[in-house]
Amino acid sequence: KTTPADFFVEEIPKYEPSGEGQHVYITIEKTNLTTLKVLGMMARALGVNRKAIGYAGLKDAHAVTRQTFSVDGITEDAARALEIPGVKILRVARHRNKLKPGHSAGNKFVIRVRGVEKSALPAAEAILAQLQARGVPNYFGEQRFGHRNNSQWLGKALVQNDMDTFLRELLGKPQPTEAAPAQHARALFDSGDWAAALEAFPPFLRDERAVLRQLVRTGDPRRAVRALDRRLKRLYVSAYQSHLFNKLLAQRLPAIHRLETGDVAYIHRNGACFVVEDAAAEQPRADALAISPAGPMFGVKMLTAQGKPGAREAAVLVEEGIALGDFRVPGVNFNGERRPYRIPLADASLGWDEGLVVSFSLPPGVYATIVLREIMKTDGDSPES
The pLDDT tens digits of the residues spanning 106-118 come to 999 999 999 888 9
pLDDT at 374: 87
Percent of the chain with pLDDT over 90: 80
pLDDT at 93 over 70: yes
Is the separation of the CB atoms in 256 and 137 below 8 Å?
yes
Three-state SS letters, 168-202: HHHHCCCCCCCCHHHHHHHHHHHCCCHHHHHHHCC
Domains of the chain as residue ranges with CATH: 4-106 (3.30.2350.20), 114-135+344-375 (no CATH), 168-231 (no CATH), 235-342 (3.30.2350.20)
Mapped onto helix, strand or coil, the DSSP state of residue 344 is coil
CA distances from 129 to 81, 97, 112, 356, 375 (A): 45, 39, 18, 16, 10
Is the separation of the CB atoms in 101 and 258 below 8 Å?
no
Cβ neighbours around 239 below 10 Å, total = 21
pLDDT at 383: 39
| 287/6 Cα distance (integer angstroms) | 33
**269 Cβ contact partners less than 8 Å away, ≥ 6 residues apart:** 290
Mean pLDDT of 328-356: 90
Q: How far is CA 271 from the centre of its chain?
A: 18
| 54/61 Cα distance (integer angstroms) | 18
Mean pLDDT of 5-12: 94
Pick the closest to residue 188 from 197, 201, 178 (CA basis): 197
Taking CA 341 as the corner, what is the angle to CA 12 and CA 328, rounded to the nearest 5 degrees?
95
- Mean pLDDT of the residues in the chain: 92
Among the ranges 120-124, 154-158, 331-335, 351-355, which has the highest mean pLDDT value?
154-158
pLDDT at 41 over 90: yes
Mapped onto helix, strand or coil, the DSSP state of residue 324 is helix
pLDDT at 4: 84
pLDDT at 43: 95
pLDDT interval class at 316 (50, 70, 90): very high
| 333/178 Cα distance (integer angstroms) | 32
Between residues 294 and 367, the one the model is more confident about:
294
The pLDDT tens digits of the residues spanning 143-196 come to 889 889 999 999 999 999 999 999 999 999 999 999 999 999 999 999 999 999
Buried b (16+ CB within 10 A) or exposed e, 302-311: bebbbeebbe
Q: Which of 6, 60, 263, 326 is catalytic?
A: 60
For the entire predicted model, the pTM comes to 0.81
pLDDT at 16: 94
Mean pLDDT of 225-251: 93
Q: How far is CA 304 from the centre of its chain?
A: 23
| 279/243 Cα distance (integer angstroms) | 27
User: 207 catalytic, yes or no?
Assistant: no
Mean pLDDT of 34-62: 92
Mapped onto helix, strand or coil, the DSSP state of residue 235 is helix
The pLDDT tens digits of the residues spanning 121-134 come to 999 999 999 999 99
pLDDT at 319 over 80: yes
pLDDT at 238: 93
pLDDT interval class at 380 (50, 70, 90): very low
The pLDDT tens digits of the residues spanning 186-212 come to 999 999 999 999 999 999 999 999 999
Mean pLDDT of 280-293: 97
Pairing of strands 337-340, 291-297: antiparallel
Mapped onto helix, strand or coil, the DSSP state of residue 77 is helix
| 202/198 Cα distance (integer angstroms) | 9
